[in-house]
């Protein structure tokens, strides 16, 4: 592939998976990294270069100054909502020099990162969503809420994981409201879930490709773990509506679409992540390298445009997330977790072809 690939995002396992996916196909990406001047991505064997940026805006300006005007156009990829928002808000300008993961209208994806907006859109395609209310810090808590409720930031870029919380009563909700990072808090119907679902894929050239559905093998009320099962996706009316929604958004790029499943078997749409999903790398074990396939689709270069899935079902583990959520908290014993780690088909960190990131983590964490 003649196009350079530039990956932009926080120096953590999500971006590491993106770098590895490309590197294993012979593409050495140029990394613009945030949050840490050292870390796992710097230890990977695959980047052509790593540049640390003090802020997302500095990183965006570095990309423009360094890579504008190159022929053929470099491909931009993001691993988090903050950097994807920068691409989205300046998409028409960036398209003059880059292949951009964006929609046909500047700012459209940023509006749809608002969970209320994307939920309303999903309803128009026949998906069910949890009942939701939007509260500002100054708002009185409504008297008609039915507890428990689940809180989260209205937009991920304005809040954080600490705002994702089950509140069993008015007092707990008040505490979360007062301590939320942003001025706006989303309060949702609490779904007593038995599964969390991710459809992971890419959209390009009027085509939406979704090879696997991801199931969470364990989770809690407040968070999901990093132990997953992937099953081959079958065509259905449900799948057709997911694809049509993404086509109508005119989105181009990597994505994941999330659902919750309750104890009665009801499916609830929650959000779309318009960027590389943290578990996309796990799919490469089954012969499907989504970042590479997306680059091939937008450039017309490369090979393996009709990849063959070599597994109908397999398991994968995001070791850092799963250990923090379930071993450090005492929910799962270390021997049981190690047994599952060894039996998993694929991993986010543990990789014999690229062992620098694991060595760094063992030495520093």
Distances (CA, A) of 335 to 103, 270, 341: 46, 34, 10
pLDDT band at 171 (very low <50, low <70, confident <90, very high): very high
Question: What residues have CB less than 8 Å from 150, skipping those under 6 apart?
Answer: 130, 164, 165, 166, 167, 187, 188, 189, 190, 191, 221
Residue 279 has pLDDT above 80, yes or no: yes
Would you state the pLDDT for residue 181? Answer: 82
CA neighbours closer than 13 Å in the CB half-sphere of residue 216: 20
Interatomic CA distance for residues 87 and 95, integer angstroms: 10
Would you state the pLDDT for residue 159? Answer: 67
Interatomic CA distance for residues 226 and 151, integer angstroms: 21
Would you state the pLDDT for residue 157? Answer: 77
Interatomic CA distance for residues 32 and 55, integer angstroms: 10
Would you state the pLDDT for residue 305? Answer: 61
Tens digit of each residue's pLDDT (9 = 90 or more) over 242-276 = 999 999 999 999 999 999 999 999 999 999 999 99
Residue 223 has pLDDT above 70, yes or no: no
pLDDT band at 219 (very low <50, low <70, confident <90, very high): confident
pLDDT band at 353 (very low <50, low <70, confident <90, very high): very high
Question: What residues have CB less than 8 Å from 4, skipping those under 6 apart?
Answer: 29, 30, 48, 67, 70, 74, 75
Interatomic CA distance for residues 92 and 24, integer angstroms: 31
Distances (CA, A) of 17 to 115, 135, 213, 279, 336: 26, 36, 18, 8, 25
Length of the chain: 365
Would you state the pLDDT for residue 155? Answer: 83
Q: Whose structure tokens read 């708002």?
A: 139
* Strands of 165-167's sheet in order across: 132-136, 184-189, 149-153, 165-167
* Residue 86: its H or E element: helix 81-89
- State how far Cα 339 lies from the chain centre: 27
Tens digit of each residue's pLDDT (9 = 90 or more) over 99-155 = 999 999 999 999 999 999 999 999 999 999 999 999 998 899 999 999 999 998 888
Would you state the pLDDT for residue 301? Answer: 80
Would you state the pLDDT for residue 303? Answer: 61
Count of CB atoms within 10 A of residue 69's CB? 8
Q: What is the pTM of this model?
A: 0.94
């Amino acid at each position: 592939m003649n196009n350079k690939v530039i990956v932009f995002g926080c120096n953590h396992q999500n971006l590491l998976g993106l770098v590895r996916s490309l590197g294993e196909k012979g593409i050495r990406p140029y990394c613009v990294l945030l949050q840490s001047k050292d870390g796992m991505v710097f230890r990977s064997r695959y980047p052509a270069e790593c540049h640390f940026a003090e802020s997302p805006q500095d990183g965006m300006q570095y990309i423009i100054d360094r890579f504008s005007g190159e022929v053929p156009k470099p491909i931009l990829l993001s691993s988090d909502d903050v950097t994807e928002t920068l691409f989205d808000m300046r998409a028409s300008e960036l398209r003059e020099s880059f292949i951009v993961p964006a929609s046909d209208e500047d700012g459209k994806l940023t509006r749809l990162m608002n969970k209320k907006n994307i939920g309303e859109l999903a309803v128009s395609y026949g998906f069910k969503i949890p009942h939701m209310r939007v509260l500002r810090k100054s708002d009185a808590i409504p008297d008609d809420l039915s507890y428990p409720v689940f809180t989260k930031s209205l937009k991920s870029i304005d809040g954080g994981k600490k705002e994702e919380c089950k509140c069993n009563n008015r007092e707990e909700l008040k505490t979360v409201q007062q301590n939320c990072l942003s001025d706006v808090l989303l309060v949702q119907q609490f779904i007593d879930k038995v599964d969390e679902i991710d459809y992971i894929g890419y959209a390009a050239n009027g085509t939406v490709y979704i090879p696997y559905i991801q199931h969470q093998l364990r989770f809690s009320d407040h968070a999901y773990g990093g132990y997953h099962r992937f099953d081959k996706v079958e065509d259905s009316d449900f799948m057709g509506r997911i694809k049509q929604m993404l086509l109508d958004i005119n989105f181009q790029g990597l994505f994941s679409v999330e659902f919750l499943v309750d104890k009665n078997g009801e499916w609830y749409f929650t959000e779309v992540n318009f960027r590389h999903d943290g578990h996309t790398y796990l799919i490469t074990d089954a012969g499907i390298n989504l970042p590479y396939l997306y680059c091939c689709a937008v450039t017309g270069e490369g090979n393996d445009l009709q990849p063959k899935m070599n597994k109908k079902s397999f398991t994968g583990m995001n070791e850092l997330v799963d250990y923090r959520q379930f071993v450090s908290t005492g929910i799962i014993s270390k021997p049981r977790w190690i047994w599952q780690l060894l039996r998993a088909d694929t991993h986010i960190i543990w990789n014999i072809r690229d062992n620098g990131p694991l060595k760094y983590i063992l030495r520093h964490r």
